[in-house]
Structure 1
Amino acid sequence: MTAPRALSPRARRLRAAVALLALALVAPLAIGATPTPTPDPVRAAEYWIEGAHIDAAWKTTRGAGVTIAVIDTGIANGPNAFQGAVSDGTDVSGIGSEDGRTPLGPLDSDHGSRVASLAAGRPNADGTGMIGVAPEAKLLSISLGFGTTAPVPFTKQVADAMRWAVDHGANVINLSFTTNTLDWDRSWDDAFLYAFEHDVVVVVAAGNRGSGTAMVGAPATIPGVLAVGGVDQRGVASKAASTQGISIAVSAPSESLLGVDADGTVETWNGTSGAAPIVAGVVALVRAAHPDMDANNVINQIIQTARRAPQATAHPDPLYGYGLVDAAAAVSTVQPPVDQNPLGDLADWVRLHRRAQAPAPTPATSTPVPIPPLPKADAPAKAVSPLIPSPDSLLYGTLPLVALTLPGILIALGVTAAARRIRSARASARQNPDD
Structure 2
Amino acid sequence: MRATLVALLAMGALAATPGAAMAVDETPSPEPTSTPTPDPVRTSEYWLEELGVVDAWETTRGEGVTIAVIDSGIAADIEELEGAVAGGADFSGVGSDDGRTPLGADAHTRSHGTWVASLAAARGTGEDTGMIGVAPEAKLLSLSIGFGSVSEVPFSEQVADAIIWSVDHGADVINLSFTTNQTAWDESWDRAFQYAFDHDAVVVVAAGNRDGGTTMIGAPATIPEVLVVGGVDQDGKASRGASTQGGTIAVSAPSEALLGIGPAGDVDSWRGTSGSAPIVAGIAALVRAAHPDLDADNVINRIVSTARHAPEQQGERDPIYGFGIIDAEAAVTERVPLVAESPVTDVTLEEWVRINRGGDDPGEVETGPTPTPEPVNLPALPPLDPPAEAANPYLPSPESLREVTLPLMAVTAAGILVLLGVVAVSRRFRSNHDSHGSSS
The interval holding the TM-score normalised by the smaller chain is 0.7 to 0.9
Which structure 2 residues correspond to residues 150-161 of structure 1 after superposition, within 5 A?
A: 150-161=151-162
- Compute the displacement of 1:136 (Å): 0.3
Match of 1:373 in 2: none
- Check conservation: 2:253, 2:326, Cα contact below 8 A: yes
1:249 aligns with 2:250: yes
Which structure 2 residues correspond to residues 5-404 of structure 1 after superposition, within 5 A?
A: 14-21=3-10, 39-107=38-106, 108-125=109-126, 127-344=128-345, 345-357=348-360, 379=402, 395-398=417-420, 400-404=421-425
Match of 2:436 in 1: 415
Distance 1:418 1:20, change over 3 A: farther
Superimposed CA distance per residue, residues 312-368 of structure 1 (whole angstroms, 9 cap, x where no aligned partner): 11221111111110000000013100011111211111122222129xxxxxxxxxx
Distance 1:406 1:240, change over 3 A: closer
Distance 1:90 1:395, change over 3 A: same
Distance 1:412 1:311, change over 3 A: same
- Check conservation: 2:39, 2:128, Cα contact below 8 A: no
- Compute the displacement of 1:125 (Å): 4.0
SS for the counterpart of 2:402 is coil
SS for the counterpart of 1:408 is helix
SS for the counterpart of 1:258 is strand
Which structure 2 residues correspond to residues 416-431 of structure 1 after superposition, within 5 A?
A: 416-419=437-440
- Compute the displacement of 1:231 (Å): 0.8
TM-score normalised per structure 2: 0.80
Q: d(CA) in 2 for partners of 1:227 and 1:395?
A: 93
Q: d(CA) in 1 for partners of 2:279 and 2:144?
A: 20
Counterpart AA for 1:338: V
Q: d(CA) in 1 for partners of 2:11 and 2:433?
A: 137
Larger radius of gyration between Structure 1 and Structure 2: 1
Q: d(CA) in 2 for partners of 1:230 and 1:52?
A: 13
- Compute the displacement of 1:100 (Å): 0.5
Q: d(CA) in 2 for partners of 1:119 and 1:264?
A: 16
- Check conservation: 1:68, 1:173, Cα contact below 8 A: yes
Counterpart AA for 2:6: A
Q: d(CA) in 1 for partners of 2:304 and 2:73?
A: 29
Distance 1:95 1:132, change over 3 A: same
- Compute the displacement of 1:80 (Å): 0.9
Counterpart AA for 2:7: V
SS for the counterpart of 2:438 is helix
Counterpart AA for 1:416: G
Distance 1:409 1:343, change over 3 A: same
Counterpart AA for 1:266: V
- Compute the displacement of 1:235 (Å): 1.1
- Compute the displacement of 1:403 (Å): 3.5
- Compute the displacement of 1:102 (Å): 0.4
- Check conservation: 1:245, 1:318, Cα contact below 8 A: yes
Superimposed CA distance per residue, residues 45-79 of structure 1 (whole angstroms, 9 cap, x where no aligned partner): 00000010100000000000000000000000121
Q: d(CA) in 2 for partners of 1:329 and 1:75?
A: 30
- Compute the displacement of 1:217 (Å): 1.5
- Check conservation: 1:246, 1:318, Cα contact below 8 A: yes
Higher deviation after alignment, 15-24 or 240-249: 15-24
TM-score normalised per structure 1: 0.81
- Check conservation: 2:42, 2:128, Cα contact below 8 A: no
Counterpart AA for 1:18: A
SS for the counterpart of 2:89 is strand
Higher deviation after alignment, 287-296 or 184-193: 184-193
SS for the counterpart of 2:124 is coil
CA RMSD, Structure 1 to Structure 2 (Å)? 2.5
Could you tell me which runs of 5 or more consecutive residues in structure 1 were left unpaired when the two chains were aligned.
6-11, 26-35, 359-375, 420-435
Counterpart AA for 2:422: L
- Check conservation: 1:70, 1:116, Cα contact below 8 A: yes
Match of 1:406 in 2: 427
Match of 2:393 in 1: none
Q: How many residue pairs get matched? A: 376
- Check conservation: 2:304, 2:326, Cα contact below 8 A: yes
- Check conservation: 1:19, 1:268, Cα contact below 8 A: no
- Compute the displacement of 1:162 (Å): 0.7
Identity of aligned residues (%): 56
- Compute the displacement of 1:106 (Å): 0.6
